[in-house]
Structure 1
Amino acid sequence: MESITKNRQSRDTLLAMVERAYGADRVPTGDGWVDELGHGWFNVAYRIRLRDGAEVVLKIAPAPQVEVLTYERGAMSIELATLELLRTRTSVPVPVVDFADRSRELCDADYFFMPYVDADNLGIVLASLSAAERDAYMEQVGAANREINSLRGTAFGPLAGPGDPSWRRVFTGMVEDILRDGERRGVDIGWSYDTVRATLAEHADSLDEVTEPRLVEWDLWESNVMVRDGKVVCVIDHERAFYGDPLIEAGFTGTQLAAFGDSTAFMRGYGHAELTATQRVRRDLYGLYLMLVMVIETVYRGHTDTKQYDWARPHLDAAMGTLGRTRR
């Protein structure tokens, strides 16, 4: 996916980064030692073969002059903090961070190295799998997601704070942030921004049921899951984590928005019962938030085609419909 947030670097800069991380004796020589991994949507990522043959991945945050969505500010710091939490406090397989540099001396943004995971991306191979294979993987994803959600926070909100004891205030603040992002750039979401605000306010009481902050990934889609020989071997891309309601997780999205697939296997692996009436309302709100992000981010990414926008706009209408809003 092409995006102006991808902070590509020159060959010489990449070599300097490798030397700082691994030492001069492991700096690659010749040609063919670097390839860009193109399926990511936000950070640029390179697959690099070191001089001794070991393969690593380098992720680089967007350049500071590139405007990102409000919730994406400091995303790489969030990812590094989440990786440390998951590595030390869960059994969920995540990448080891070999080296992280926030000095901005070699590059104008934060970056880190991790080992390359020799496995298939579930999002890429999903269509080639049998229904039984897909369900088996999604059950494993559900179980891993539940373990992630088992980590408790002291307050709702960003990992680095400030926190808030009210999930309603935090989530409505998240929605307000994305709405302001859209208004700032004049993004056509197909609805009055104030109508969206009013819709959220009408159903915000459902958020008060959530009283315990849990670590949520929010971005645990199939494309962030690496698989091999029938097993989930690594979960990647953790830059959107925060303390919130586990029901906001990506795996539950299909319960309310059919375009995101069948959530049955994920919920079975997670061990989640059928949603209650109040939980369904919350899921509707979370689906609305997701679709707002997917529409509005297309302008911030500088997409060269309208494919994502054209797909997401009708699904934003559908999300509004689940909350009782229809076009006149």
Structure 2
Amino acid sequence: MDFQPIERPAHAFQQPVTAAQLQAVCHRVFGPGGRVSSATELGLGMYNTTFRVAVEGQERPVIIRFAPEPGRQLRSEREFMRNEYATVPHLAVIAPLMPRVIAADWSHDLVGRDYLVQTLLDGVPAAEGLRAHPRPSWTGFYRRIGEIAKTVHAVRGPAFGTVSQAAHATWSQAVIESLHDIAADLDAANLEAADIRKTAELAAEHHAVLDEITEPRLLTGDLWTVNIMIAANAPEPVITGVFDLDRTSWGDPAADWPIRMASAKQDERLAFWESYGEPERGPAAVWRSRVYEMRHLGAVRLEHHRHDDAGAVGRSYEAGAAVLAALT
């Protein structure tokens, strides 16, 4: 086997998988003849450990993703891979863009971690491939993201919360619980969580504003350039695939990550709104958007801490102070 893992420090969040473990997975999924000829770890993701694997007898390589060990998963990031798997039927509206699940295994008897085997999407990661195109051509790319987000947001759900555990009758309950989970994770990481706790208090005090959202809609959780494939060698950036939507939930579309990212800068991404439609800008919607921003900042803070980016952690507190001041 040509085995090419990424060398990481022993304390790194993304823990290694051995060649023998990969081979054992492929024997289970593809049978005794499923011999691995090559396995290359992919480095764009920051949560799961992901390999592109060529298996004898298979026409195309496959993607094998390993979730973090249960003990390494945060309270606010519990069983993301299982959540992604539970979301597959609801993402039928964008099925041509999604990888197909070949196998899912939560038994932990081969690796001690959840894993998914999926088909390989065509194209190149947008986070890298966009740079090959002049910026004026990016507008069509962002317009297409708006179309995808709008399509997903039209899917209705049974209750509020993560797709795999939609347990809340009201939107405020789901938001407040998620803020408490993030604060608990910050505590466990020895990071200050006062701004997130204050946001939870304000959300509880003004729950009626959150509960103006009465219909759970499907949120992608993480739809943006890092989870999109574009066509290779095309004259313009054309989206060919969407992947790793493991943070999906039922809630207010305005709380979704692509809405936040489309609003972050006044550049080519403004084309997002041409296809998605202009966001609501009334006082209640603005107040809710600030709660959502604090929730995003708390989640991003944990991710930066996990990857030892102290500067970005500090900047999250500066940004949070400004948002919290406007929220109160």
> 1:244-293: per-residue Cα shift (whole Å, max 9, x none)?
011111222146654x9665221222123553332222111111110011
- TM-score scaled by structure 2? 0.86
Q: Is the 8 A contact 2:94 2:148 kept in 1?
A: no
In the alignment, which of 67, 79, 88 is matched to residue 74 of structure 1? 79
Alignment partner of 1:130 is 2:134:
yes
Pairing 1:114–2:118 present? yes
1:14 paired with 2:14, answer no
Shift in CA distance, 83/57, structure 1 to aligned 2, threshold 3 Å: same
Residue 18 of structure 1: CA displacement? Answer: 1.1
Alignment match, 2:240? 233
Which amino acid counterpart does residue 83 of structure 1 have in structure 2? V
Contact residue 138 and residue 268 of structure 2 kept, 8 A: no
Q: How many residues are aligned here?
A: 315
2:31 is matched with 23
Q: CA deviation at 1:148?
A: 0.9
Distance 2:149 2:129 in 1: 20
| C-alpha contact 2:180 2:197 (8 A) present in aligned 1 | no
Partner of 1:251 in structure 2? 258
- Mapping for residues 1-328 of structure 1, pairs under 5 Å: 4-29=12-37, 33-52=38-57, 54-66=60-72, 68-87=73-92, 89-91=93-95, 93-188=97-192, 191=194, 194-201=197-204, 204-228=207-231, 229=234, 230-254=237-261, 257-258=264-265, 263-273=269-279, 275-299=281-305, 301=306, 303-324=307-328
Question: Matches of 1:44 and 1:173 in 2, distance apart?
Answer: 28
Question: Equivalents in 2 of 1:261, 1:179: separation in Å?
Answer: 33
2:69–2:113 CA contact under 8 A, matched in 1:
yes
Query: Do the aligned partners of residues 283 and 127 (structure 1) sit closer, same or farther apart at CA in structure 2, a change above 3 Å counting?
Result: farther
Q: CA deviation at 1:206?
A: 2.5
Residue type of the partner of 2:272? Answer: F
Q: Matched residues in 1 for 2:174 and 2:29: separation?
A: 37
177-186 vs 123-132, which moves further: 123-132
Percent identical among aligned pairs is: 24
Q: Please give the secondary structure, in 1, of the residue aligned with 2:70.
A: coil
Residue aligned with 2:68, SS: coil
**In 1, are the aligned partners of 2:160 and 2:169 still within 8 Å (CA)?**
yes
The AA in structure 2 aligned to 1:35 is T
- Counterparts in 2 of 1:275 and 1:264: CA distance versus 1, 3 Å: farther
Distance verdict in 2 for CA 1:107–1:210, change over 3 Å: same
| Alignment check: 8 A CA contact 1:139 1:266 kept | yes
1:60 partner letter: F
Q: In 2, Cα distance between the equivalents of 1:97 and 1:23?
A: 17
Structure 2 vs 1, CA of residues 129 and 202 (structure 1 numbering), >3 Å: closer, same or farther?
Answer: farther
Instruction: Give the CA deviation at 1:210.
Output: 0.5
Q: Aligned letter for 2:62?
A: V
CA change 1:308–1:49 in 2 (3 A) is farther
Unaligned runs of 5+ in 2: 1-5
Deviations 1:141-188 (A, max 9, x none): 111111111111111112233522210111111112111221233203
- Structure 1, residues 32-74: CA drift from partner, whole Å, max 9, x if none? x1111011010000011122452111000111232x2222111
8 Å Cα contact 1:251/1:263 also seen in 2: no
Q: 2-side partners of 1:262 and 1:311: how far apart?
A: 25
Q: 1:132 to 1:168 in 2, by over 3 A?
A: same
Q: Calculate the TM-score normalised by the size of structure 1.
A: 0.86
Q: What is the RMSD of the two structures over their aligned residues, measured on CA atoms?
A: 2.5
Q: Offset at 1:21?
A: 1.2
1:201 CA drift (Å): 4.5
Structure 1 residues 39, 180: closer, same or farther in 2, change over 3 A?
same
Residues 241 and 6 of structure 1: is their aligned pair in 2 closer, same or farther, counting only changes over 3 Å? same
Structure 1: runs of 5 or more not aligned: none
Name the CA distance, whole Å, in 2 between partners of 1:145 and 1:237: 15
* Alpha-carbon distance between aligned partners in 2 of 1:136 and 1:267, rounded to the nearest angstrom: 11
Maintained 8 Å contact 1:28/1:49 = yes
Judged with a 3 Å threshold, the aligned counterparts in structure 2 of structure 1 residues 46 and 268 are, in CA distance, closer, same or farther, namely: same
Distance 1:319-1:123 versus aligned 2 partners, 3 A rule: farther
Q: d(CA) in 2 for partners of 1:28 and 1:197? A: 49
